Amino acid sequence: MTKHSPSSNTSPALASAPAKGSLAAFKGLLPFLKPYRRQFVLAGIALLFAAGATLAIPAAFKQMIDLGFGNAGHAAGGAGDQGIRHIDSAFLALFGVATVLGLATAARFYMVSWLGERVTADIRSAVYRHVVHQSPEFFETTQTGEVLSRLTTDTTLIQTVVGTSISLALRNTLLFLGGLVMLFVTSAKLTAIILGLLVAVIVPIVLFGRRVRKLSRDSQDRIADASALAGEILNAMPTVQAYTHESIEAERFGATVEGAFGAAMRRIRARSLLTMLAIVLVFGTIVFVLWLGAHAVLRGEMTSGDLGQFILYAAIVAGSIGALAEVMGEAQRAAGATERLLELLSARADIRNPAHPRSLPARSKGAATAGAALALQDVTFAYPSRQDTAALSHVTLAIRPGETVAVVGPSGAGKTTLFQLLLRYYDPQAGAITLDGVDIRDLDLHTLRGAIGIVPQDTVIFSNNALENIRYGRPEASDEEVIAAAKMAAAHEFIERLPQGYRSFLGERGVRLSGGQRQRIAIARALLKNPPLLLLDEATSALDAESERLVQGALEAAMVGRTTIVIAHRLATVQRADRIVVMEDGRVVETGTHASLVAMGGIYAKLAALQFHNVYVEH
C-alpha cells in the first residue's frame, strides 16, 4: 500500500491505489489510445518521412563536398563544370529534402496535437464520469480541490506527453538509430569508440533521472494540496469573512503555495542538472571522437566529405540523445500525473448496482398513486469513518403506503442517517430495507432514487436560472409543469418578481436568493419529480412564518397520495403526521401520535413541553 508523508493531504480514498512511480504507469492510458489507432498510424508515417528526410541531409552534404568542391579545386573547364553541376544537383536535392521534411513535420505536428487534445478530453470525461458515480464515502474522505487538480493540471501534463512527448521520443529514437547506423557506415572505428564512451556517461544520467521522477510526483502532490485548500476556503467564504479570517486563510494558502513552489524548484533544479549533465558528457564525448576524426583526415584515412558526414550524423545522434533526455524528464513528470489519475479511476464505489436488478411494482404514469410501502428490518449501521460508533442500532420500522411519518429526536439521534440509508448512499452492516417489498440492494440505483424525492436541510442551488433549477427534478418536464410545481411550493410569486422571471440566473449556490427562497426552489424540484416516496429533511427550517404557512399548506397537498417521511426539530410542523417516530442514540424509542406521545410523558413529551413553553414565553 502506498504510504504518504504526514504533510501530504492526499485523501485515503485515493491513497489506497498502488503508485508504481515509473513509466509503466502509461500502460493505464492504453484504453484511451486504442480507439485512435488510425491516427497513430498516420502520425507514424509522417514521422518516418520526417526522420528519413533529416537523415538524408548529411549524405547530401558529403556528396556536395567530395564531388562538388573536390572536383572544382582540381580542374577548370569541363571538370569545373562537372563540379558546378554536382553542387547544383546537391543543393536541389537539399531543397527537395527540406520540402519533404517540412510537409512531413507539419502533418506529424497536426496529427499528434489532435491526438493529445482528443485523448485528454476523453480522459477528463472518463475521470469525471467515474467520480460522480462514487459513493458518499469517497467524498467524505476526498477533498474536492484535489479531484479538480487531477482533472486539470494532471490531464494537461498527459496532453503534453500524448500530443508532443511521444512524437518527439519516437522521432528522436528513429534519428538516434538511423544516425548510429550511418555513423557505422561512415567510420566503424570512430563509432565504436564513441559508443563505448557514451555507455559510460549514460549510466549516471539514468541514475539521476530516478531522483527527478520522485521529485516530479512530490511537486504534483503539493500543487494538489494548494488546490484543495483553495477550493475548501472559497466554498466557505461567508464563514471566513464572518470570523474575519481573510488574512489568516491568505497566509495559510500562501504557505501552501510556497511549499508547492519549493517542491517545484527542487524538481526544476534536478532537471536542470540532469540536462546539463547529459549535454556536457554527451557532447564532450562527441568532440573527443571528432578530434580523432580530424587527425584521420590529415592522415588520409578519411575524405573531407566522410568527416563532414560523420560530424552531421554525430550531431544528429547527440541532439536526439539530448532531446530524449528532455522528453524523459517530461515523461517522468507525466508518469506521476498518470498515476494520480489512475488512482481516481481505480477507486471503486462500495455502493453498486446489483448484477441482476429487480423492478418495483408498476405505478400509473405521472402519479404517485397510493405511495410506497417502506420497511426497515433490524437495521444497524455505522459510518465508515466512525465504525466504532453505531449511527443506527437495531432499527425496525414499517411505513404503510400513503402514510405520513414524522421522525424527531435530538441532534445525533440518527434521523439524517436514516434518509441516507433509504437513498442507499450507504448500506447497513446488518438488517435490510425494503421498498414495496423489494430489498433496495436488489434495485438499480436509478430505479430506487427515481422513486424518492428529497428536500434536504442544506439546499443546493445550481449556477443556472430558476426554470432549470426546478427542472433538475425531472429534466424532461415542460415549462408549464415546472411553473405548476413552483406554485405548489409557493415559489411562483417571488420567481416572477425576479428581473427575468423564471429565466433569471440565480448565482453560484443561489447567492441571489434568501434562505427561504432557496428552500422553496428545492421543494418545487422535489414536487416536480412527483415520487411515490417523499423525504423532507427540515424542509421548512429556513422559512419565515408567512412562507412556512404557505409551504406547509403546499406540502400537505403534495403528501396526498404518496408516502412521506418528515424530519423536523420544530414539533409544530409534525403534529398532524399520521405517526411520529422518536429516535435517540440511533434507536427508535417511542412511536405514536402527538397526543399519545405527550400522554406517555417520555422524550417527546419533554421536547414538546420545552418547545411549546418557549413559544408561549416568546408571545
Which of 177-181, 361-365, 579-583 is least confident?
361-365
Of 261-275, 276-290, 438-452, where does mean pLDDT reach its minimum? Answer: 276-290
- pLDDT value at residue 376: 92
Confidence band (pLDDT; 50, 70, 90) for 2?
very low
Q: What are the strands, taking DSSP E only, across 456-599?
A: 533-537, 563-567, 579-584, 587-592
Query: In the prediction, which pLDDT does 506 show?
Result: 79
Q: pLDDT value at position 618? A: 39
Domains 374-451+531-618 and 462-530 in one fold: yes
Per-residue pLDDT tens for 464-522?
888 888 998 888 889 999 999 888 888 888 888 888 888 888 767 666 777 778 888 88
Residue-wise pLDDT tens digits, 43-66: 889 888 888 888 888 877 777 777
Instruction: Tell me the pLDDT tens digit for each residue of 276-288.
Output: 877 787 777 778 8
Q: Which residue has the cell 490531464?
A: 155
**Distance between CA 590 and CA 612 in Å, rounded?**
19
Q: Domain spanning 20-346 has what CATH number?
A: 1.20.1560.10
Strand partners, 266: none
User: Global pTM?
Assistant: 0.63
pLDDT of res. 375: 93
**Low-confidence winner among 374-378, 446-450, 537-541 (lowest mean pLDDT):** 537-541
What is the DSSP code (8-state) at residue 351?
S
User: How high is the pLDDT of residue 87?
Assistant: 72
Which pLDDT score is estimated for 82?
A: 63
User: What was the pLDDT predicted at 543?
Assistant: 64
Q: Count of CB atoms within 10 A of residue 291's CB?
A: 10
pLDDT, average across residues 16-23: 44
- DSSP secondary structure of 282-343: HHHHHHHHHHHHHHHHHTTSS-HHHHHHHHHHHHHHHHHHHHHHHHHHHHHHHHHHHHHHHH
Given a cut of 50, is residue 297 above it in pLDDT? yes
For the chain, percent of residues with pLDDT exceeding 90: 8
320 Cβ contact list (under 8 Å, min separation 6): 172, 173, 175, 176, 179
pLDDT at residue 606, rounded to an integer: 86
pLDDT above 60: residue 411: yes
CB of 473 within 8 A of CB of 455?
Answer: no
Q: Tell me, what's the pLDDT at 4?
A: 37
Q: What is the pLDDT of residues 346-360, one digit of tens each?
A: 777 777 888 888 888
Residue 407: band (very low, low, confident or very high) from pLDDT cuts 50, 70, 90: very high
CATH architecture of structural domain 462-530: 3-Layer(aba) Sandwich (3.40)
In the predicted model, what is the mean pLDDT of residues 425-435? 91
pLDDT band with cut points at 50, 70 and 90 for residue 363:
low
Write the CATH number of the domain with boundaries 374-451+531-618. 3.40.50.300
Q: What number is the average pLDDT over the span 128-143?
A: 76
Length in residues, the chain: 619
Model confidence at 307: pLDDT above 60: yes
Domain assignments of the chain as residue spans, ordered by start: 20-346, 374-451+531-618, 462-530
Amino acid at 45: I
What does the angle CA 468 – CA 470 – CA 474 come to, to the nearest 5 degrees? 90
pLDDT reading at 80 higher than 60:
no
Q: What is the pLDDT of residue 418?
A: 92
d(CA 322, CA 6): 37
